């Protein structure tokens, strides 16, 4: 099978998967018990006229198949309608949250990859050493601690006692900035604690996968050959060991990237960070269909695309892949 | 060593790059330049829904819009009448006509003058288009006219016990006048223009909302230069923020955290009477479609269940003691209206009484399984609670355990609030038996809560499907009683009636737990309903910066 054919096949799979997810999302939200209008009525006196107008506004007075076609049309045209809660265009609400989430998670992901893979290599090279053991234990502890607890502890220590970092949000409320560089510095300061929390929690995934695959690879015969050829351990690592260890790491990476859009609900909640995770959580509670539909669609699209890209990467790293 | 420094440098560079990227995208319209001031910072964990004051249903939105928009009349800290856009008003002899004389020097935040046309337009919107929560007070509103630019006359078909001028925010006709009801329903009102003491600055969903002092305000200038509400992910973090001085006041503190704030430096933690109650609702739907257990239509069964509610214990366990045992549907902040129940009237915690009542009514445990039955029908009910409301779940567990002693089986199911709403509000099936839920009033008038169990509210606020023509009649009566003492007598009769029927069993009135810092602002006043979140909004306006 040629490379092009392989990519074509994967692309077809991508489109079919997306369509299936889109349809599933539509059904899922509508079979969830409860509806967005009912609870509106609960918090106060609402007239029957208002309820009818709200239903019409969100197309809830239409038959189900019609709602489904409107929904498909919205996705194709990129118009997600207006939020039931905020009565604002979904696209503008999501764009802002997305910018925050992508910033936080992109920074965190890059750092997690660098630190996770880096420590993984060091640990594998010195397997059994005290350093290795320390890394393993530390990453396992970080992974096992409840995110919420880790975050709160950081808030109390660095935010309340030491007062080094702000504990919430993305900008200091009420702050007046003289220049844009001050805005950026303030923003960066707010990113520090959530980023570190994410690193503590998620680093283990990359550390452990790198370490274990590399330990396997390092004991292969060809590594002995490489050593026998007189390659330095460093050269042997980069030329022979790493390329062979990359596949599982890329898989982990592809799975992790979908989080960059979906946000990290726990970290976002504890640091009051206005990202996608928090937005979706609230939208589920309020049954805000337009927000749910748009954000689940984006999340699915990114996950599927990340998998598609990693499939292509496989073919580059391991030419055998396209034959499977 | 050098390598590590390089790596660290790389990481920092990454962070800065990300921040740069963010700087272009996320923060959007940040204010650059200008000078800071005495901004009151409020920490909360729920944000507004929309800033459109006539389509919003959240208490949080009301905080902002009540500072931006004004009503004709307002309240001071002791709930006495104050004037906002009206400078005086008088009733006709039959109490059916109210004439308001408006202030002359008020201006909208965009510079347009405020006149009687704005008032007429706002009230007509509510009456004709049935928009806004205030529609409940407009039932008897016949006409609103403006004899001149600064006079408004409202005519009602019946005298009004509650004057809606206290709660209707006046909107500028030059912005809202041309919109249809459908357009208003979809209108987010992103830049609200009012006449109030504060002007809208910004609302960034998910983070902060701010208003700034209106220098052209026609009344007394507020103390703070502005107010900023900061959104926190949860109460623990918000409490840390108060301790760290990031915010000056918290809208909500949980009982467990409340104690930790009592000894904190520069912080005052207060528990105040609230406008809310938690209750056990019992399905009384008489329609054949009801999927609720029919045995609950028997008042004896409901009263027996009420005897199983150890409310004092619930206040201790579920609220750590920060609340009062519930009786009538009117919470503790309504104490001037509330009926004081005598020992005879009270349906107290008494398992033996519950047993003997059921015994006398023919409910006996004949098969020895611990559950009483009558004609083969067992006293076996479902009880629903909202899973995230810990106090309600705990209360349901306590009730389940004590009901078992009396021979009533309760099976507890927890669910999310929207699911419960879907079940309870479904008039086609009403597929529930009992639930524990909460209710609160944004209005300082008892009429709103008393209106909940009306027959006409079935499918709406009447969650227990209570239907009692005598109660409905008394409700209509009290809503036209202008004399407070007469109205109180009617209200007390309604309270007793509802209490005795045990459809809505009020468990407790939770104290409003809030906390504020004293090192940045002084002059805080404690009101019913809270330091903030009270119907008076005085603390937003009257506190002064510490020099």
A117 vs B contacts (CB less than 8 Å): none
| Contact: A270, B39; criterion CB under 8 Å | no
The pTM (predicted TM-score) of the whole model is 0.85
- In chain B, whose CA is at the least distance from the CA of A265? B233
Question: What pLDDT, in 10s, does the model give residues A76-135?
Answer: 887 888 888 888 889 888 988 888 888 888 888 889 989 998 999 889 888 889 999 999
Other CB atoms within 10 A of residue B48 CB: 23
A56 vs B contacts (CB less than 8 Å): 182
| Contact: A53, B228; criterion CB under 8 Å | no
Is A196 at the interface with chain B, CB within 8 A? no
Question: Which of B6, B12, B15, B19 is most worth mutating to test chain A (most A CB atoms within 10 A of its CB)?
Answer: B19
B36 pLDDT band, cuts 50/70/90, is low
| Contact: B236, A152; criterion CB under 8 Å | yes
| Contact: A87, B20; criterion CB under 8 Å | no
Q: What is the rounded distance in angstroms from the CA atom of residue B117 to the CA atom of residue B97?
A: 18
Q: Which residue has tokens 């208490």? A: B59
If we measure between CA atoms, which residue out of A179, A100, A105 comes closest to residue B204?
A100
- In chain B, whose CA is at the least distance from the CA of A93? B205
What pLDDT is stored for residue A43 in this prediction? 61
| Contact: B420, A183; criterion CB under 8 Å | no
| Contact: B19, A279; criterion CB under 8 Å | no
Question: Which of A43, A83, A85, A148 is most worth mutating to test chain B (most B CB atoms within 10 A of its CB)?
Answer: A43
| Contact: A183, B204; criterion CB under 8 Å | no
Q: Which residue has tokens 């479609």? A: B289
Q: What is the rounded distance in angstroms from the CA atom of residue A292 to the CA atom of residue A310?
A: 27
What pLDDT is stored for residue A295 in this prediction? 87
Q: Which residue has tokens 């409490």? A: B239
Output the six-digit token pair for A180.
């844009």
| Contact: A286, B418; criterion CB under 8 Å | yes
If we measure between CA atoms, which residue out of A38, A147, A144 comes closest to residue B234?
A147
Which residues span the domain enclosing A207? 97-319
Q: Are B21 and A183 in contact (CB under 8 A)?
A: no
What pLDDT is stored for residue A28 in this prediction? 84
Beta-bridge partner residues of B74: B82
Q: Is the residue at A141 inside a domain?
A: yes
B463 vs A contacts (CB less than 8 Å): 42
Average pLDDT over residues A145-173: 86
Contacts of B78 (CB under 8 A, 6+ apart): none
Return the H-helix or E-strand segment holding B73. strand B73-75
Question: What pLDDT, in 10s, does the model give residues B483-509?
Answer: 999 999 999 999 999 999 999 999 999
Is A2 at the interface with chain B, CB within 8 A? no
Is A164 at the interface with chain B, CB within 8 A? no
Question: Which of A35, A274, A276, A291 is most worth mutating to test chain B (most B CB atoms within 10 A of its CB)?
Answer: A274
Q: What is the rounded distance in angstroms from the CA atom of residue A72 to the CA atom of residue A217?
A: 48
Nearest-by-Cβ selection for A93 from B11, B185, B205: B205
Question: What pLDDT, in 10s, does the model give residues B96-152?
Answer: 999 999 999 999 999 999 999 999 999 999 999 988 888 888 889 999 999 999 999
| Contact: B246, A100; criterion CB under 8 Å | no
For chain A, positions 271-290, list CB contacts with chain B under 8 A.
271-275, 278-279, 285-287
Q: What is the rounded distance in angstroms from the CA atom of residue A282 to the CA atom of residue B106?
A: 39
A269 vs B contacts (CB less than 8 Å): 233-234
Is A168 at the interface with chain B, CB within 8 A? yes
Is A165 at the interface with chain B, CB within 8 A? no
| Contact: A167, B237; criterion CB under 8 Å | yes
pLDDT more than 90, % of chain A: 9
Question: What pLDDT, in 10s, does the model give residues B165-220?
Answer: 999 999 999 999 999 999 998 898 999 999 999 999 999 888 899 999 999 999 99
What pLDDT is stored for residue A263 in this prediction? 63
B28 vs A contacts (CB less than 8 Å): 96
Return the H-helix or E-strand segment holding B517. strand B512-517
Q: Is the residue at A79 inside a domain?
A: no
Q: At A256, which CATH number?
A: 1.10.3720.10
Output the six-digit token pair for B479.
């809503």
Residue B433 φ then ψ, to 5°: -110, -60
Q: How many CB pairs under 8 A join A and B?
A: 237
Question: What pLDDT, in 10s, does the model give residues B311-349?
Answer: 999 999 999 999 999 999 999 889 899 999 999 999 999
- In chain A, whose CA is at the least distance from the CA of B15? A107
| Contact: A34, B422; criterion CB under 8 Å | yes
Nearest-by-Cβ selection for B234 from A159, A166, A269: A269
Task: Using alpha carbons, list the distances in angstroms from residue A179 to A166, B22, B32.
Answer: 20, 15, 6
Return the H-helix or E-strand segment holding B141. strand B141-148
Is A147 at the interface with chain B, CB within 8 A? no
Contacts of B20 (CB under 8 A, 6+ apart): A184
Question: What pLDDT, in 10s, does the model give residues A82-91?
Answer: 888 888 889 8
Number of structural domains chain A divides into: 1
| Contact: A160, B240; criterion CB under 8 Å | yes
Is A190 at the interface with chain B, CB within 8 A? no
Q: Is the residue at A148 inside a domain?
A: yes
B33 vs A contacts (CB less than 8 Å): 176-178
Q: Is the residue at A292 inside a domain?
A: yes
| Contact: A87, B205; criterion CB under 8 Å | no
Average pLDDT over residues B219-244: 91
For chain A, positions 237-276, list CB contacts with chain B under 8 A.
268-275
| Contact: A174, B448; criterion CB under 8 Å | no
- Minimum distance, in Å, between the CA of residue B198 and any CA atom of chain A: 15
pLDDT more than 90, % of chain B: 71
| Contact: B133, A96; criterion CB under 8 Å | no
A188 vs B contacts (CB less than 8 Å): 15-16, 18-19
What pLDDT is stored for residue B28 in this prediction? 41
If we measure between CA atoms, which residue out of B278, B506, B286, B282 comes closest to residue B381?
B282
Q: Report strand pairing: B39-44 vs B249-250.
A: parallel
Average pLDDT over residues A171-196: 84
Mean pLDDT of chain B: 90
Nearest-by-Cβ selection for B244 from A50, A167, A192: A167
Question: What pLDDT, in 10s, does the model give residues B508-543?
Answer: 999 999 999 999 999 999 998 889 888 889 999 999
Inform me whether the pLDDT recorded for A283 exceeds 70: yes
- Mind giving me the DSSP string for A168-195? SSSS-TTPPBSSHHHHHHHHHHHHHHHH
Q: Would you say how long chain A is, in residues?
A: 324
Q: What is the rounded distance in angstroms from the CA atom of residue A256 to the CA atom of residue A240?
A: 26
Contacts of B363 (CB under 8 A, 6+ apart): B301, B372, B373, B374, B379, B407
- Minimum distance, in Å, between the CA of residue A143 and any CA atom of chain B: 22
A252 versus B453: which is more confidently predicted?
Answer: B453
Task: Using alpha carbons, list the distances in angstroms from residue A195 to A69, A103, B220, B433, B446.
Answer: 40, 10, 46, 47, 49
What pLDDT is stored for residue B6 in this prediction? 46
Other CB atoms within 10 A of residue A199 CB: 18
Model ipTM over 0.85: no
What pLDDT is stored for residue B438 in this prediction? 92
For chain A, positions 301-320, list CB contacts with chain B under 8 A.
none
Inform me whether the pLDDT recorded for A253 exceeds 90: no
Nearest-by-Cβ selection for A169 from B28, B129, B208: B208
Average pLDDT over residues B299-305: 96
Q: What is the rounded distance in angstroms from the CA atom of residue A265 to the CA atom of residue A269?
A: 6
Q: In what order do the strands lie in the sheet with B323-325?
A: B323-325, B504-510, B276-282, B434-440, B380-386, B409-415
A259 pLDDT band, cuts 50/70/90, is low
A145 pLDDT band, cuts 50/70/90, is confident
For chain A, positions 111-130, list CB contacts with chain B under 8 A.
111, 114, 118
Contacts of B491 (CB under 8 A, 6+ apart): B330, B337, B339, B446, B450, B478
Q: What share of chain A is helix, strand, coil (3-state, %, to 5)?
A: 80, 0, 20
If we measure between CA atoms, which residue out of B408, B411, B398 comes closest to residue B298?
B408
Q: Is the residue at A84 inside a domain?
A: no
- In chain A, whose CA is at the least distance from the CA of B187? A87
Inform me whether the pLDDT recorded for A41 exceeds 70: no
Inform me whether the pLDDT recorded for A262 exceeds 80: no
- Minimum distance, in Å, between the CA of residue B39 and any CA atom of chain A: 7
Task: Using alpha carbons, list the distances in angstroms from residue A162 to A155, A158, A196, B245, B286.
Answer: 10, 5, 16, 13, 62
Q: Flag the least confident range among A34-38, A70-74, A102-106, A253-257.
A: A34-38
């Amino acid at each position: 099978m040629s490379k092009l054919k392989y990519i074509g096949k994967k692309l077809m799979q991508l489109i079919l998967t997306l369509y299936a997810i889109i349809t599933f999302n539509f059904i899922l939200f509508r079979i969830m018990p409860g509806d967005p209008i009912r609870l509106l009525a609960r918090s106060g006196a609402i007239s029957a006229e208002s309820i009818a107008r709200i239903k019409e506004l969100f197309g809830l007075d239409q038959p189900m198949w019609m709602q489904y076609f409107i929904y498909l049309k919205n996705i194709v045209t990129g118009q997600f309608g207006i939020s039931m809660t905020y009565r604002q265009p979904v696209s503008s609400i999501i764009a802002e949250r997305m910018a925050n989430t992508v910033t936080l998670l992109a920074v965190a992901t890059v750092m997690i990859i660098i630190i996770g893979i880096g420590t993984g290599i060091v640990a594998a090279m010195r397997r059994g050493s005290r350093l290795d053991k320390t890394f393993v234990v530390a990453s396992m502890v970080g992974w096992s601690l409840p995110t919420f607890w880790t975050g709160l502890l950081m808030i109390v220590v660095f935010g309340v006692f030491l007062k080094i970092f702000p504990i919430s949000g993305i900008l200091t409320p009420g702050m007046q900035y003289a220049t844009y560089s001050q805005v950026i510095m303030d923003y960066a300061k707010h990113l520090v604690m959530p980023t570190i929390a994410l690193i503590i929690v998620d680093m283990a995934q990359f550390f452990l996968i790198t370490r274990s695959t590399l330990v396997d690879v390092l004991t292969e015969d060809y590594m002995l050959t490489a050593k026998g050829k007189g390659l330095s351990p460093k050269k042997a690592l980069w030329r022979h060991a790493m390329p062979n260890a990359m596949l599982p790491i890329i898989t982990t990476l592809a799975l992790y990237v979908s989080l960059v859009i979906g946000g990290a609900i726990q970290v976002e909640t504890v640091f009051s960070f206005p990202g996608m995770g928090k937005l979706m959580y609230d939208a589920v509670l309020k049954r805000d269909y337009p927000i749910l539909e748009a954000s689940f669609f984006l999340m699915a699209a990114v996950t599927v695309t990340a998998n598609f890209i990693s499939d292509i990467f496989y073919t580059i790293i391991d030419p055998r892949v396209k034959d499977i | 060593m050098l390598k590590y420094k390089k790596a660290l440098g790389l990481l920092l560079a990454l962070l800065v790059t990300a921040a740069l990227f963010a700087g272009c995208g996320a923060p959007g319209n940040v204010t650059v330049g200008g000078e800071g001031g005495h901004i009151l910072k409020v920490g909360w964990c729920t944000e507004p829904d929309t800033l459109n004051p006539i389509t919003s249903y959240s208490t949080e939105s009301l905080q902002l819009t009540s500072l931006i928009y004004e009503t004709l009349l307002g309240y001071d800290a002791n709930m006495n009448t104050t004037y906002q856009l009206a400078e005086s008003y008088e009733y006709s002899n039959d109490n059916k006509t109210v004439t308001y004389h408006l202030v002359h020097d008020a201006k909208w935040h965009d510079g347009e003058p405020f006149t009687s046309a704005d008032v007429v337009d706002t009230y007509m919107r509510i009456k004709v288009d049935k928009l806004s929560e205030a529609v409940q007070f407009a039932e008897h509103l016949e006409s609103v006219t403006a004899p001149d630019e600064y006079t408004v006359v409202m005519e009602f078909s019946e005298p009004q016990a509650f004057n809606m001028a206290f709660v209707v925010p006046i909107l500028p006709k030059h912005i809202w006048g041309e919109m249809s009801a459908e357009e208003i329903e979809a209108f987010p009102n992103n830049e609200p223009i009012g006449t109030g003491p504060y002007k809208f600055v910004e609302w960034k969903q998910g983070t902060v909302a701010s208003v700034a002092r209106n220098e052209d305000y026609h009344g007394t200038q507020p103390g703070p230069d502005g107010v900023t509400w900061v959104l926190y992910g949860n109460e623990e973090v918000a409490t840390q923020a108060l301790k760290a001085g990031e915010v000056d006041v918290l809208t909500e503190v949980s009982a467990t955290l409340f104690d930790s704030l009592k000894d904190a430096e520069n912080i005052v933690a207060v528990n105040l009477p609230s406008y809310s109650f938690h209750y056990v609702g019992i399905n009384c739907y008489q329609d054949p479609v009801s999927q609720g257990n029919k045995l609950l239509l028997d008042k004896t069964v409901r009263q027996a269940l009420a005897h199983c509610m150890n409310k004092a214990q619930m206040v201790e366990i579920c609220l750590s003691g920060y609340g009062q045992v519930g009786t009538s549907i009117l919470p503790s902040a309504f104490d001037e209206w509330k009926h004081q129940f005598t020992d005879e009237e009270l349906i107290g915690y008494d398992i033996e009484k519950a047993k003997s009542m059921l015994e006398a009514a023919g409910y006996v445990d004949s098969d020895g399984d611990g559950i009483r039955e009558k004609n083969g029908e067992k006293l076996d009910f479902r009880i629903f609670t909202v899973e995230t409301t810990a106090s309600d779940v705990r209360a349901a567990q306590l009730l389940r355990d004590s009901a078992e002693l009396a021979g009533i089986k309760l099976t507890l199911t927890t669910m999310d609030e929207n699911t419960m709403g879907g079940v309870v509000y479904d008039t086609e099936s009403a597929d529930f038996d009992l639930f524990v839920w909460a209710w609160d009033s944004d209005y300082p008038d008892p009429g709103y809560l008393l209106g909940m169990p009306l027959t006409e509210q079935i499918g709406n606020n009447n969650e227990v499907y209570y239907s009692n023509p005598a109660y409905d009649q008394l409700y209509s009566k009290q809503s036209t009683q202008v004399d407070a003492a007469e109205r109180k007598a009617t209200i007390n009769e309604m309270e007793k009636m509802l209490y005795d029927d045990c459809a809505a069993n009020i468990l407790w009135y939770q104290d409003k737990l809030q906390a504020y810092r004293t090192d940045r602002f002084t002059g805080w006043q404690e009101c019913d309903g809270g330091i903030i979140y009270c119907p008076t909004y005085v603390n937003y306006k009257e506190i002064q910066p510490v020099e």
